[in-house]
Amino acid sequence: MSIMRKTLGLNAETEIPFVGFGTYLIPDDQAAEAVRTAIGVGYRHIDTAAVYANEDGVGEGIRAGMKDNGLTRQDIFVTTKLWPGNPEWNEAAKTEEQTGIEAHESLARLGLDHVDLYLIHSPHGGAERLGQWKALQKLKSSGKARAVGVSNYNIAHLEEIRNSGLAMPDANQIELHPWSQKPELIAYMRANNIAPIAYSSLAPLSTWRAEPGQDSAKTNDMKNGDDLLLRTAAKYGVSEAQLLLRWGVQNGYAVLPKSLNRERMLKNLDLDGFSIDESDMADIRSLDRGDGIAWSIGDPSKIS
């Protein structure tokens, strides 16, 4: 089966396409055309978030893309995320009630009656984390979200949910790429049936977030890329981006490449025709540098 059509199970009723279109850092006034183009070239999984400030444009693009291509709402998997608030940034953490209100506001901005996956964007809710999670359970029960989960949670945050007696998340969206492989967290998630969704899959590329206003935690050394990845991509006759995305999919992660360029969108979907052999997968495992460079989850055993 083509990777374009492969899905990853989130729960008994819901499956997520392995390759999605990420919209982080796409301005609202460009989001509609980007999403419309992405759907036109074959993407059936669109990822956004309240904090991206582009849900209006993403929703417009989804409707246009469906109309252009004769698709229905059931053909497009849509993810959005709650910004939980962050007391460290002088933002009050959202309460359980506020979480429910914010979820419905996201639906209104998207122009949808439900989303396929709704996530808590980060664990910064602190004392309100479990209340936020209870609100997501209610959202799922009401049919406003087919699946619910979290993002940027470490093992301690997930254990907090498990120890509360509440249902575990369907998914955890985290930074995953050869430089940040998080084997302990991935093993915990698999043991608890929490699907891994990868973001920043292309972080090892020298051009990753190279545009103005898109600074990351990359050091100058990191910006030089990685010779092993270059050589391995050349071996398979693919781009580094295709290699990195294929690596994620072969590991069982849904991936979320982003581009405003139609040809790159197509290339990022073109992951068939090659498979990374076990020897090369082992070599790539040796590249792990630990915690993320886009977002640090910190000590996996500690909660904050």
Please give the structure tokens belonging to residue 297.
């989850």
pLDDT at 150 over 90: yes
The pLDDT value recorded for residue 222 is 59
**pLDDT tens, residue by residue, 65-94:** 999 999 999 999 999 999 999 988 899 999
The pLDDT value recorded for residue 212 is 47
**pLDDT tens, residue by residue, 3-42:** 888 999 999 999 999 999 999 999 999 999 999 999 999 9
pLDDT at 138 over 70: yes
Three-class DSSP labels, the chain: CCHHHCEEEEECCEEEECECEECCCCCHHHHHHHHHHHHHHCCCEEECCHHHCCHHHHHHHHHHHHHHHCCCHHHCEEEEEECCCCHHHCCCCCCHHHHHHHHHHHHHHHCCCCEEEEEECCCCCHHHHHHHHHHHHHHHHCCCEEEEEEECCCHHHHHHHHHHCCCCCCEEEEECECCECCHHHHHHHHHCCCEEEEECCCCCCCCCCCCCCCCCCCCCCHHHCCHHHHHHHHHHCCCHHHHHHHHHHHCCCEECCCCCCHHHHHHHHCCCCCCCCHHHHHHHHCCCCCCCCCCCCCCCCCCC
Mean pLDDT of 85-104: 95
Give me the domains of the chain, ranges plus CATH numbers.
3-285 (3.20.20.100)
Burial class (CB in 10 A: 0-12, 13-18, 19+), 90: exposed
Residues noted as catalytic:
52
Please give the structure tokens belonging to residue 289.
């540098």
pLDDT at 171 over 50: yes
How long a stretch of residues is the chain?
304
Count of CA atoms in the C-beta half-sphere (13 A) of 172: 26
Choose the weakest-confidence range: 32-41, 62-71, 225-234, 267-276: 225-234
Q: Rounded mean pLDDT of the chain?
A: 94
Work out the pLDDT band at 162, boundaries 50, 70, 90. Answer: very high
When comparing pLDDT for 106 and 300, which is higher? 106
Does residue 121 have a known ligand-binding role? Answer: yes
**pLDDT tens, residue by residue, 281-304:** 999 999 999 999 999 888 888 887
